[in-house]
Every structure is written in C-alpha cells, then in structure tokens.
C-alpha cells in the first residue's frame, strides 16, 4: 500500500499524538481496550509505511512517541504474563492432592502399596 503523500504529514502528526496519548493510557486501560488500541495503532503505523513524508519538526517527537508506546506495550505484556501465570498457578491443584477431593497421605499410600 502506497502512502498518500498529500496527507502523510497530517497523518504522521495525528499518529504521533495518538502514540503519545496511548503511552499514557495503555497500561491503565482494560485488557481488551488496550489490545484494541495496540492493534489500531499498529495498523496505522503499517499504513504510513516507509517512504511517508515526515515533517522535520516531528522527527524527534515521533521517535520519542514511538519509544514511549513501545515501552508501554512491553509493560502491558509483562503485566498480562504475570496475570496469566498467577491464574495458572491458582488453577493448579495443591501439592499432594489426589484428584478425588481429598489430600493423599503419602505415608499411608506407600505403606499400603508395599503390603
């Protein structure tokens, strides 16, 4: 997809503003909203593509906005992984659980098995 060179500077400015806003909002948003925001911004970044006209005054600001967005995404993903790990650990049965609703007595099991 070719970038539209007539609107590229405006599109770049709008994207930079949205990236700056997303960097502040992303980690506080609900998980579904955060994923949707990340997906939408990723599509917009891809649409601009290489060769888009970059206004010189936005160069540094765009780099900072993209870096802040990337950092927010990293924090969000780490938070999601920690949440998922906690859920998986909570779903695991306790050590010694025999699957029949009771804790097994390992000593009794070994004595019975050897008799």
Q: What is the pLDDT of residues 46-96, one digit of tens each?
A: 887 777 677 777 788 888 888 898 888 888 888 888 888 888 888 776 666
Q: Are 41 and 11 in contact (CB under 8 A)?
A: no
Could you give the angle at which helices 8-25 and 59-91 cross, rounded to 10 degrees?
40
Q: Is the pTM of this model over 0.75?
A: no
pLDDT of residue 113: 47
Written as six digits, the tokens of 47 are 């649409």
pLDDT of residue 18: 92
What are the residue boundaries of the structural domains of the chain, listed by start?
Answer: 8-90
Q: Are 104 and 97 in contact (CB under 8 A)?
A: yes
pLDDT of residue 98: 59
Percent of the chain past pLDDT 70, that is, above it, reads 72
């Amino acid at each position: 997809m070719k970038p539209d060179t007539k609107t590229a500077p405006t599109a770049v400015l709008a994207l930079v503003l949205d990236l700056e806003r997303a960097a502040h909002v992303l980690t506080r948003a609900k998980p579904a909203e955060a994923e949707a925001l990340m997906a939408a911004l990723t599509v917009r970044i891809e649409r601009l593509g290489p060769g888009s006209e970059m206004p010189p005054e936005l160069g540094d600001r765009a780099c900072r906005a993209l870096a802040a967005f990337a950092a927010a995404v990293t924090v969000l993903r780490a938070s999601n992984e920690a949440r998922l790990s906690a859920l998986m650990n909570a779903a695991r049965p306790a050590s010694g659980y025999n699957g029949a609703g009771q804790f097994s007595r390992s000593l009794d099991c070994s004595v019975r098995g050897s008799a």
